[in-house]
A = this chain, B = another copy of it.
């Protein structure tokens, strides 16, 4: 059976070429061909999205909420079929997908609540002051409005929560932007199921089918064409630094440059402070090992660097880490490319001069099972080997041993932009390292105390995005309600008759939202 691209609710003929999904656990192809999109499909999808935008941008928050909740219900209705397909295509276990489906549905409902309530548009009203001297003040009203058609790239490491109907799509749809999903070639079948759910939801809600399309390609041609299309207004991406940077460059070279929101990952350094290490020499290693191997290390917040100081308990700490890591299983990675990259980067790191292996399981042939590893290196040699400062995507972490706090501070200064950094410290550790925390806060999007960076909470306060190269633009988050701001821009209405204003800006506040009126937040 050939699955074709879905454009505005219809299965549309593509290039004629196809590809198949693979099961990373068995290394065998999975039944079902997926048709690679054509350049014509790109035109069709963008044109449908542009047309749909005329209606969808002015769709009420209540109606958009209905859509998002209907998509959630349709995904739920896919039942076990979706879980099984995602497992087959990713090698990840059932429990993980039940959790990830819950998160995906939760995100859709969270954005539904957000746009139904409506205050996210940041309505600001400065009323007229006709008798102001020397010049009268005119009435100006401002609110966020949807950008236009956007392209979302599915992420391999979250086939549900950061792919077809994941956080990027949910936030773009919530903002009022039609979405074209470039399916990730590692999970085309999962994409097809979720895409059907979205198309069905649009139909059930009586909204234009062009609000959603999905295109397949196992190369970069279709993604590149979408990003360069003049009518595309923004791009969402989760993946590698190389992939994200390539999209940023394409977007910057357009005749009309557009924003690319690329979440590209980082090494998420963990600073383990001396007192805490002493106090929890038996407890921390298990916590760290668990976090490093979670999701087979395939999380953007995976702790890839551990910064410690020389200490009477360091040997015991290291030996406990060794024990914990030797107890970890090897699990199947998402695809062949990720596995090969992991094995080769891990090997390079372990072979780098100065690096001592603490614990590293061996690789096995004919599987994509990633052997976890932990190694250590001195501060001095870490500083000399900048290749070790880069992310190794998988269950690997490197412990860097400093002689003193000054060296730890130097490490903090050399850090590039990070999604997260973590401090493991007692109250007194933290109090005596406020300078270190201050330096680190300038390099990260989120700073974690006495916890692990994996497990990104989806909420209002989350910030998932750090200075480049952690993400393309550290001012935006890809997780949590704040993510909607990526897909909207303020528009000001000056001296506009009340009947022509968007409801959010009308006299009498008919939507009952929070608005800043003459500088004061009010709901009246």
Residues of A within 8 A of B (CB): 54, 57-58, 99, 119, 124-126, 134-135, 137-138, 140-142, 145, 148, 248-249, 252, 256-259, 416-417, 427, 430-431, 434, 437-438, 441-442, 444-451, 455, 457, 459-463, 467-469, 472-475, 477, 482, 488-497, 499-500, 514, 516, 518-519, 521
Please tell me if the beta carbons of B462 and A431 are within 8 angstroms of each other in the complex: no
CB contacts (< 8 Å) of A258 on chain B: these are 468
CB distance from A243 to the nearest CB of B (A): 15
CB distance from A107 to the nearest CB of B (A): 15
Please tell me if the beta carbons of A461 and B126 are within 8 angstroms of each other in the complex: yes
Q: Whole-angstrom distance between the alpha carbons of A54 and B473 in the complex? A: 22
Could you pull out 26 A-B pairs where Cβ atoms are within 8 angstroms? A57-B442, A58-B438, A119-B521, A124-B460, A125-B461, A126-B459, A256-B467, A256-B468, A257-B468, A257-B472, A258-B468, A430-B497, A434-B500, A441-B491, A446-B493, A446-B494, A447-B493, A449-B493, A449-B494, A449-B497, A451-B495, A457-B494, A460-B519, A462-B492, A463-B490, A463-B491
Query: Which residue of the partner chain B has the closest CB to A514?
Result: B521
CB contacts (< 8 Å) of A462 on chain B: these are 126, 140, 142, 492
Please tell me if the beta carbons of A124 and B494 are within 8 angstroms of each other in the complex: no
CB contacts (< 8 Å) of A137 on chain B: these are 457, 459
Q: Whole-angstrom distance between the alpha carbons of A521 and B119 in the complex? A: 10
Please tell me if the beta carbons of B521 and A521 are within 8 angstroms of each other in the complex: yes
Q: Whole-angstrom distance between the alpha carbons of A474 and B477 in the complex? A: 18
Please tell me if the beta carbons of A438 and B497 are within 8 angstroms of each other in the complex: no
Please tell me if the beta carbons of A431 and B514 are within 8 angstroms of each other in the complex: no
Please tell me if the beta carbons of A135 and B256 are within 8 angstroms of each other in the complex: no
Please tell me if the beta carbons of A495 and B441 are within 8 angstroms of each other in the complex: no
Q: Whole-angstrom distance between the alpha carbons of A119 and B430 in the complex? A: 27
Top 4 nearest A-B pairs by Cβ distance? A463-B492, A252-B252, A140-B461, A126-B461
Please tell me if the beta carbons of A442 and B148 are within 8 angstroms of each other in the complex: yes
CB contacts (< 8 Å) of A519 on chain B: these are 460
Which of B438, B463, B473 has a CB less than 8 Å from the CB of A142? B463
CB contacts (< 8 Å) of A489 on chain B: these are 445, 467, 474-475
Other contacts beyond A126-B459, A142-B461: 15, CB < 8 A? A99-B134, A126-B457, A140-B459, A140-B461, A142-B482, A248-B252, A252-B257, A259-B473, A431-B499, A446-B492, A447-B492, A449-B497, A461-B492, A463-B492, A514-B521
Q: Whole-angstrom distance between the alpha carbons of A455 and B469 in the complex? A: 40
CB contacts (< 8 Å) of A463 on chain B: these are 142, 490-492
Among A134, A469, A496: residue with most chain B CB under 10 A:
A496
Please tell me if the beta carbons of B58 and A446 are within 8 angstroms of each other in the complex: no
Please tell me if the beta carbons of A461 and B141 are within 8 angstroms of each other in the complex: yes
Please tell me if the beta carbons of A135 and B496 are within 8 angstroms of each other in the complex: no
Please tell me if the beta carbons of B457 and A490 are within 8 angstroms of each other in the complex: no
CB distance from A150 to the nearest CB of B (A): 13
CB distance from A140 to the nearest CB of B (A): 4
CB distance from A418 to the nearest CB of B (A): 11
Q: Whole-angstrom distance between the alpha carbons of A461 and B504 in the complex? A: 14
CB contacts (< 8 Å) of A138 on chain B: these are 451, 457
Please tell me if the beta carbons of A135 and B455 are within 8 angstroms of each other in the complex: yes
CB contacts (< 8 Å) of A126 on chain B: these are 457, 459-462
Please tell me if the beta carbons of B54 and A494 are within 8 angstroms of each other in the complex: no
Q: Whole-angstrom distance between the alpha carbons of A463 and B142 in the complex? A: 7
Please tell me if the beta carbons of B256 and A496 are within 8 angstroms of each other in the complex: no
Q: Whole-angstrom distance between the alpha carbons of A106 and B461 in the complex? A: 33
CB distance from A81 to the nearest CB of B (A): 23
Q: Whole-angstrom distance between the alpha carbons of A451 and B130 in the complex? A: 14
Query: Which residue of the partner chain B has the closest CB to A451?
Result: B495
CB contacts (< 8 Å) of A521 on chain B: these are 119, 514, 521
